[in-house]
Amino acid sequence: MLAPFAPHISEEIWERLGHHKSLTRRPWPSFDAAKLIESTMELPVQVNGKVRDKITVAVDASEEEIFAAAAAAEKVIPWMAGKRSQKTLRDQSAG
């Protein structure tokens, strides 16, 4: 990946890694598209307008699952003790 920008040092590194044929004759690196797909995402949890914790949920998690995970987050529990969530993501986007 460095070769187009620093060809001389790239050739030197390539040779020191034990390769005998020129780096310029090697094919461009390929990638695995399956590795680009993430199965989880990290979301911030806000209480009173401040980020109190972050949760990790599945990408295909439902809104109910996300809110349940947010309410069960260790740092959120003290802030929500005896309270009920008044606003949801849906409420924020509507107004």
Q: What is the pLDDT of residues 70-88, one digit of tens each?
A: 888 889 888 888 777 666 6
What is the model's pTM?
A: 0.56
Which of 48, 56, 87, 49 has its CA nearest to residue 72?
56
Query: pLDDT tens digits, residue range 41-50?
Result: 999 999 888 9
- CATH 3.10.20 domain extents, the chain: 32-83
d(CA 47, CA 78): 10
Give φ, ψ of 88 to 5 degrees.
-120, 175
What CATH number does domain 32-83 carry, 3.30.310, 3.40.50, 1.10.10, 3.10.20? 3.10.20
pLDDT above 70: residue 92: no
